[in-house]
Structure 1
Amino acid sequence: PEEIDKAREGVREAAQSAEFEQRDLERIAQLVETGALPGEDLDKGRVKQVAAEARLNAARRQLEMLEAGFTRTAIAVQDAAVNEAAAKLELAQARLNECAIVAPFAGTITKVFVRQGDMAAMKAPLLEMADLSSLVVRCAVPEANAVETRQGMKAQVRLDALPGKSLPAEIARVFPELDSRMRTRTIELVIRDSVELVPGMFGRVRLILESVRDAVVVPIQAVVITPTGASVVFVAIDGKAAQRKAPTGIEDGGRVQ
């Protein structure tokens, strides 16, 4: 910087002046000692030499102050440059992270919608993933049974891929609202048995909405509704059919309590 250069030049000039005054003082001292000059010239020489040393010291202090100030400024500038570089690095790292596709959970890719080199549209799905270790069965419950369907209820699941096998299951999630178009309530069930499931399998769910122990069950066709609305069944007594009242309860497929 220009100010520091001027201060350094001032130090050099002050040093030369101080050196000159020192030599001149030594010369005057010799002449006074020989009697060639009066003693008052020696005193004047000492004053000039002290003044020159004072100017040199002042010039040095000024240079030191300027250099110290420049150093602090230079450090501040460098610190600002470092901070700016760190911010640019952080921004570049953030942009790089945006280029990496990170799955929100560990799973298996089941569908790919965008291939390498394709132009990806904003907010368009790139792929579909599934956690095959925790698959659920999703089904729709009719509106008539929507209210009584609760989390934790037992069920039986039959999969087309496993014919003749009924798998015990339990309702893990009940959606909070009905499908306004289908008038059904969606539920998700967890199969308790260890079976290999594949996303997209088709099956049938039998919900156990209510259970009664030691109930008498007959085919629903055996129950006759009279004109008065009473439920009756016919039983054989002494080889003859006799009508008996039979209030009904829970219906389960082709059977009734």
Structure 2
Amino acid sequence: MSDSLDSLLATADVADRRDEVVTGVREHAGRIARELALLQGGDYGSRDFDTDSGTWTVKYEGGALQYLRYDGGREEVYVVSAHSPPDPEALAEALRDYAAFVEAYNAYVESLEGVLDDVDTDFPAVASTESVAAERDRVLDRIRAVSGEMAGQLHRAEGTDYGTFSARVDGTRWELKRERDQVSYLRVGGEGGIYLLSQYGNPPATDVRELVGSVPAFVEAFNERVADLDAGLSRVEL
């Protein structure tokens, strides 16, 4: 029995050689990954390269090689990966095709030489949105002024630091939220709706154009609310 135990062969030499080979491939294929990231204009991506014997896939992340995979038809071999190293026999089979993979990569790069030479970069002039934005802001300034008057009246009547007034205009909910006598926002459409007024910036001009015609109806609804309050108080007797 002891003779059988003594006859076991150690795998350390094979594993060390496998790791040495994988390290060399990682360094070399890592250069390909960096070049692909530079060429494709992003930190993340992958690309396949076909050879006569199979398909190689280079995947990179953050501009660095994430894995190099070889599919020779029988099984996929992760020559380089973040997980366990490949089986030595599978690695050896894949690396017999490695030179063809590099040739396929080089051929791909060479195929792109001059691809942008005849591209016309004399682009049309870009139209200015200055006048559109100015007109939008003019309309919003008027809406902001009217909404500010409403917020002031609400603060005076309700006497609270925070409050809202809402009404339905043509079936759509309009809501004015205030902090004391200042407008916090004017939102149309409830949660996820359009903020005509807010602290985060102005809405698109198209939204302003669509909604500005309904502002008078919202103001009228507010005035009706005030009139109802006034009428209710006028009936109180002391």
Q: What TM-score does the superposition give when structure 1 sets the normalisation length? A: 0.25
- More strand by proportion, 1 or 2? 1
Structure with the greater alpha carbon radius of gyration: 1
Structure with bigger RCO (C-alpha 8 Å, 6+ apart): 1
Q: What TM-score does the superposition give when structure 2 sets the normalisation length? A: 0.26
